[in-house]
Amino acid sequence: MEAYKREFIEFMIDCDVLKFGDFVTKSGRKTPFFVNTGFYRTGAHLRKLGQYYAQAIKEAFGLEFDVLFGPAYKGIPLAVATSMAISEVYGKEIGYCANRKEVKDHGDKGILLGSPLADGDRVALIEDVTTAGTSIAETMPILKAQGELQLVGLVVSVDRMERGQGTKSALCEIEEKYGLRTASIVTMKEVVEHLHNRPYQGKVIIDDDMKAAIDAYYEQYGAEE
């Protein structure tokens, strides 16, 4: 596993973004792990997060695109932080763009904010964690309304590797439905691989009991490989 992936897993723990215990997802599934990206709350957090996203994007898709699009609301700071990181780390200027939940009818009018989109623009999408693909389903009509865009791919922070609407993962379903390449900074398989019976900050976060709970969860909700 690449060093930046290991660092990102530990970064999530340090920020209280990645937690283990007893949780319930929005879809009603009882899960032994939870990813809450709302806990990235400081400038330092967002700066580092943007750098991890930037590296994942570069490795998955390269940097030959024009605009990074983040769906409202959580995608907005991700697009801003990551476009800044791409500029800072790689010296590449990428526009950022996001949608508004409500159309603005004065000043900077329309449904978009940030960099405008035009025919021929190469656009990469950025999200936090995708479990059902709902945000992308809402985003696609907005993007299509802007013209003939070239969609480069979608990157998320963590691939939960569980079933979406069918038997495949949400990311696989997005790939098949929209013909869109997908990538993640890390997968839950990599998280478990890195943390199982390995002390971090003086404690073992995934011991054998937690590993058994995670395995049981994937027996029930895991996506087809």
Catalytic positions are 104, 106
What span, in angstroms and rounded, lies between the C-alpha atoms of 78 and 68?
9
3-state secondary structure labels for all residues of the chain: CCHHHHHHHHHHHHCCCEEEEEEECCCCCEEEEEECHHHCCCHHHHHHHHHHHHHHHHHHHCCCCCEEEECCCCHHHHHHHHHHHHHHHHCCCCEEEEEEEEEECCCCCEEEEECCCCCCCEEEEECCCCCCCHHHHHHHHHHHCCCCCEEEEEEEEEECCEECCCCCEHHHHHHHHHCCCEEEEEEHHHHHHHHECCEECCEECECHHHHHHHHHHHHHHECCC
What span, in angstroms and rounded, lies between the C-alpha atoms of 52 and 43?
14
- Angle in degrees, CA 124, 128, 130, rounded to 5: 90
Structure-token match 């590296």, residue found? 55
**Contact of 127 with 69, CB cutoff 8 Å:** no
